[in-house]
Amino acid sequence: MNYTLHFGAVWASFDQLLIGLAIGLGLAVAAVAIGTLIGLLSAFASVSHSRILRGISWIYVLLIRNIPLLVLVLLAYFALPQVGIRLDKYESFIASLALYAGAYLTEVFRAGLLSVPKGIVEAARAIGLTRLQTNLFVVAPVMLRNALPSLGNTFIGMFKDSSIAAAIAVPELTFEARKINVDTFRVVETWTVASGLYIATCFTIAALLRRLERRFPKF
Amino acid sequence: MIPDENARPLLEIRDLRKNFGAVEILKGVDLSLRPKEVVSIIGSSGSGKTTLLRCVNLLEEFQGGDIVLDGETIGYRTSGGKRVRLRDAELSRQRAMTGMVFQSFNLFPHLTAAGNVMLGLRKVKKLGKEEAFAIAEKWLGRVGLGTRLNHYPSQLSGGQQQRVAIARALAMNPKLVLLDEVTSALDPELVQEVLTTVKGIADDGATLLIVTHEMRFAREVSDRIVFMEQGRIAEQGTPEEIFGEGRSERLNAFLKSSRH
């Protein structure tokens, strides 16, 4: 052990790491937002009366969950242009992560939907709400509240997975850390600081989510 | 309120048949209600009382017979000699004509008492927020919950929740209100407040079809009692005829067994 710690070189580029962190958060927010929409549609499809809709949801989850995210990202960024779909690195990463999040959230929301008491659905129908109105104004809000803890965990997971964007040169935290590492050779310092930033951010998100959960008490 | 003997029936059920798979639940039920009439259905569990109510509110499909509400045949239409279930939008419109109060309250847990009452007014009747709130306030006041407008269901007792459910049903101004064992899930000390509320709306002239195990209440509130047995109406009559002397052997047996 003759490695002496020199954090100075890392601190000098700390702002780059912070910008990278912000980009990673942005990617996760965009992907989870789109993924939530996909997950909601897919979850409702998975419990619908239509065999076709159930089938589509099932195949989607099956495919996406069995492809590693990294492969999905490479597929979107390098393979799609070959068939004429050209996405820049941000778009292709957000699309990949959104599809990925959507598949996980399908399961989360599906469990949430099954936990919505049948009685309140009937009560909504009894006062004359249509099926769509019942889903929008009764089922979805109750389900989302019940799914909030899992939704939060998924968000934290997706934020960490944003590091995979480094593979296609998206300048997020991991990519920036690798750059600093290459420039300064401060291996231990760089990756320790990067890890610390990940931990601090995830911890903060978790704390914010707990506050949100307390604001909206469980039914 | 004394129901008008000569009025056209508000609800007319003809030869209603319902089965779950091979099990026949309703084996041809005929029943009609005049406007402002209060009818209670009694009978042992499994006799089809609740299923009958749920058919009237179109929560259940039924395989035979007709239900006519205020002159309109509900739930199905005939097309080329075949019965066809109506589309969702039509079913929803027809459901809004009847109110239903459930055994287990079924309040929307994410909405306040006022929000529960307002949802149907806003989304089905398309009323503005203020108008809907005014109606909610009026009905929650009417059931004795004027000071609980902003309470969530989880902050209310069972009896209070059921009274919110009654306000939610009545605020929609339905032609007919269906009450499905509305006190069965309540602690004994909370039963009376709900029964008093129901008595109040009956006295105000609502048309009620009630499924109940509370014999004393049925006797007190009803114009007519219907006794169901194994998917059929076995007997019906005024409370005096049903509960008085000279009732039939099987009714006697049921009333004896239902006494707690």
Q: Is A48 on the interface with B (CB under 8 A)?
A: no
Q: Phi and psi dihedrals of B20, rounded to 5?
A: -100, 105
> With contact defined as beta carbons under 8 Å apart, do A177 and A193 qualify?
yes
Distance in angstroms (rounded) separating the CA atoms of residues B25 and B205: 31
Which pair of tokens denotes residue A150? 């899992």
**CB atoms B165 and A123 under 8 Å:** yes
How many CA within 13 A on the CB side of residue B145? 33
User: Rounded to 5 degrees, what are φ and ψ at B104?
Assistant: -105, 30
Query: Are the Cβ atoms of B124 and A137 closer than 8 angstroms?
Result: no
Q: Starting at the earlier edge strand, list the strands of the sheet with B23-33.
A: B23-33, B11-20, B64-69, B72-73
Write the residue in A120, A128, A130 that is nearest to B108 by C-beta. A120
Domains delineated in chain A:
8-215 (1.10.3720.10)
Question: Between A128, A141, A142, which is nearest B95 by CB?
Answer: A128
Q: What does residue B245 show for φ and ψ, rounded to 5 degrees?
A: -65, 165
Residues 41-80 of B with CB under 8 A from A: 57, 59
Residue A137 contacts B where some CB pair is shorter than 8 Å: yes
H-assigned helices in A66-128: 69-74, 89-114, 118-126
Q: Collect all residues with Cβ–Cβ distance below 8 Å to B210 and sequence separation of at least 6.
A: B38, B39, B40, B41, B178, B179, B182, B198, B218, B221, B222
Are A73 and A27 a contacting pair, CB within 8 Å?
Answer: no
Would you write out chain A's pLDDT as a tens digit for each of its 219 residues? Answer: 677 888 888 888 899 999 999 999 999 999 999 999 999 999 999 999 899 999 999 999 999 999 999 999 999 999 998 998 888 999 999 999 999 999 999 999 999 999 999 999 999 999 999 999 999 999 999 999 888 888 889 999 999 999 999 999 899 999 999 999 888 888 888 999 999 999 999 999 999 999 988 887 777
Ordered DSSP codes for chain B: -PPPTTSPPSEEEEEEEEEETTEEEEEEEEEEE-TT-EEEEE--TTSSHHHHHHHHTTSS--SEEEEEETTEE-SEEEETTEEEEPPHHHHHHHHTTEEEE-TT----TTS-HHHHHHHHHHHTS---HHHHHHHHHHHHHHTT-TT-TT--GGGS-HHHHHHHHHHHHHHT--SEEEEESTTTTS-HHHHHHHHHHHHHHHHTT--EEEE-S-HHHHHHH-SEEEEEETTEEEEEE-HHHHHSTT--HHHHHHHHHH--
Closest CA to B177 of B80, B1, B40, B81: B40
The size of chain A, in residues, is 219
Q: What's the gap in Å between the CA of B57 and the closest CA on chain A?
A: 7
| A127 vs B contacts (CB less than 8 Å) | 95-96, 99, 119-120, 124, 168-169, 172
Q: What is the pLDDT of residues B111-163, one digit of tens each?
A: 999 999 999 999 999 999 999 999 999 999 999 999 999 999 999 999 999 99
B99 touches chain A (CB under 8 A): yes
ipTM: 0.91
B1 touches chain A (CB under 8 A): no
Q: What is the pLDDT of residues B5-36, one digit of tens each?
A: 667 899 999 999 999 999 999 999 999 999 99
Determine contact: A117 vs chain B, CB below 8 A: yes
With contact defined as beta carbons under 8 Å apart, do B67 and B74 qualify?
yes
CA–CA separation, A98 and A102 (whole Å): 6
Across the interface, whether the CB atoms of B120 and A128 are under 8 A apart is answered yes
> How close does chain A come to B86, measured CA to CA in Å?
13
* d(C-alpha A6, C-alpha A177), whole Å: 15
Contact A125 B165 (CB under 8 A): no
Contacts of B260 by beta carbon, 8 Å cutoff, 6+ apart: none
Could you state, in order of their start, the residue ranges of all structural domains in chain B? 36-59+89-258
Q: Which two tokens stand for residue A5?
A: 């710690």
Q: What is the mean pLDDT of chain B?
A: 93
Q: Is B44 exposed, middle or buried (0-12, 13-18, 19+ CB in 10 A)?
A: middle
| Contact check, Cβ <8 Å, B88/A131 | yes
Residue A68 touches chain B, beta carbons under 8 Å: no
A137: chain B residues, CB-CB within 8 Å: 119, 123
CB atoms A124 and B108 under 8 Å? yes
At residue B112, the pLDDT reads 96
pLDDT tens-digit map of A109-144: 999 999 999 999 999 999 999 999 999 999 999 999
The Cα–Cα gap between A167 and A164 comes to: 6
Q: How far is B44 from chain A (nearest CA, A)?
A: 23
The residue behind tokens 């990519």 is A175
* B68/A53 Cα distance (integer angstroms): 35
Question: Measured between CB atoms, which of B105, B109, B124 is closest to A127?
Answer: B124
pLDDT the model gives residue B3: 57
Assess if CATH 3.30.200.20 describes domain B36-59+89-258. no
Our CA-based measurement puts residue B111 at a distance from the nearest CA of chain A, in whole angstroms, of 9
Residue B68 CB partners (closer than 8 Å, separation 6+): B9, B11, B12, B13, B14, B74
